[in-house]
Amino acid sequence: MQKNLFANNAFFAIIPLFFSYGISNLLNAAGTPRVAMFSMLVGAVTNIILDYVAVMILKNRSRGNGLCYTNRKCISSSYCNVVL
């Protein structure tokens, strides 16, 4: 049952995932690779912090991991959207 929770939570990250990767490639092609790199860096740091909070402090293992992944992609794509 825990495996399905990760899959269900990660399903909602598909649209921000495609958006952040697509916009990242467009930003690289437009000549602003630093903005694309920073958006990925923001998502990675957010994921590290939220994973620690969800797994170690809140004791939500796979569900917390799925929510962190979803939030990471949403934050990364939101940053790309603000820059554009």
pLDDT tens for the 84 residues of the chain, in order: 556 656 666 666 677 777 777 888 888 888 888 888 888 898 889 889 988 888 888 887 777 777 777 788 888 888 888 877
Q: What is the pTM of this model?
A: 0.70
Cα gap 21→54, rounded to integer Å: 25
Residues 6+ away with beta carbon under 8 Å from 26: none
Residue 27 CA: distances (Å) to CA of 5, 39, 47, 51, 60: 33, 10, 22, 28, 35
Cα gap 55→17, rounded to integer Å: 22
Q: What angle do CA 19, 21, 24 make, to 5 degrees?
A: 100
Residue with tokens 């921000």: 16
